[in-house]
Homo-oligomer: A and B are copies of this chain.
Amino acid sequence: MIKYQDVAKKIKQTIYQQQLAKGTQLANIEGLINQYQVSRSTIIKALNCLERQGVIYQVQGSGIFVRERKKRGYLNFLQSHGFTVDLEDVYGSSTVFNVDIIKPCSKVKENLQCDDDEEVYFVKRLRYVEGKLYGLEQSYYRKKLICYLNKEIVENSIFNYIQENYNINIGFSDKYMQVIKLDAEMAQYLGLQAGEPALCVEEIFYTSSGEPFDFSKIIYHYENARFCIQNHSK
């Protein structure tokens, strides 16, 4: 972990452990430099990082303040792939149906910018948060980049596995979303009726060097899945 990320994490932990109320003023930059014994630029980067995460806000000439924490029962929508990043205080699990090596269909091929002869891992799993069925996830990983997956791995966080084993840094993603009516097959997976609503999210994940490595489609259970985005205008 880069130093400023480590400091950001510590500041965040302090805010949550001490249950600081919204609007609480933190120490100023000098104070934080002393407290964490790091450079000014590290503190500034850490604060900008926390600002983007929606943990704090900085008021020019006035100070650094705690933002309202998101309501319970809502997942962070910007960190929701596999929910894992958000699960610091929430229990998540999966039921895996298959981990297959396949030839991608044209849509997957296009989204992942696959060569003609490339193969992908196809993973289908139900995702649960605190025991509640959140959604059905169908993901495609380029085998060229992620050489090996199995059921045990995909029962846990695939992203942690990828980062640890393949030296892949997750850079950015394009997320497309719309509300749909469930077809009979999807409805059955989610224990709902055909025609009932769902949120459909398709997301392409890129490495930090700009290579697409994962295309995922998640159909979220409309009653169980609720999301929050703590947005910042900067």
Contacts and interface: CB of A to CB of B under 8 A. Distances in A.
Contacts of A229: 77-78, 173-175, 177
B178 A225 contact: yes
A12 interface: no
A208 interface: yes
A108 interface: no
Q: How large is the interface on A (under 10, 10 to 19, 20 to 34, 35 or more residues)?
A: 35 or more
A65 B179 contact: no
A172 B66 CA distance: 12
A210 B59 contact: yes
A178 B222 CA distance: 7
A8 to B, nearest CB: 12
Interface stretch (A68-76, A94-102, A125-133, A139-147): A68-76
Copy count, this protein chain? 2
Contact of A68 (B174, B178, B209): B174
B228 A174 contact: yes
A222 to B, nearest CB: 4
Contact of A233 (B170, B181, B234): B170
Contacts of A84: none
Nearest first, the 6 closest Cβ-Cβ pairs linking A and B are: A197-B197, A179-B222, A175-B229, A178-B226, A172-B232, A173-B231
Interface of A: 23, 49, 52, 54, 57, 59-60, 62, 65, 67-68, 70-71, 74, 77-78, 169-181, 196-199, 206, 208-210, 220, 222, 225-234
Given A57-B208, A62-B209, A171-B233, 10 more contacts: A54-B172, A65-B210, A68-B174, A78-B229, A78-B231, A171-B232, A172-B230, A176-B228, A179-B197, A179-B225
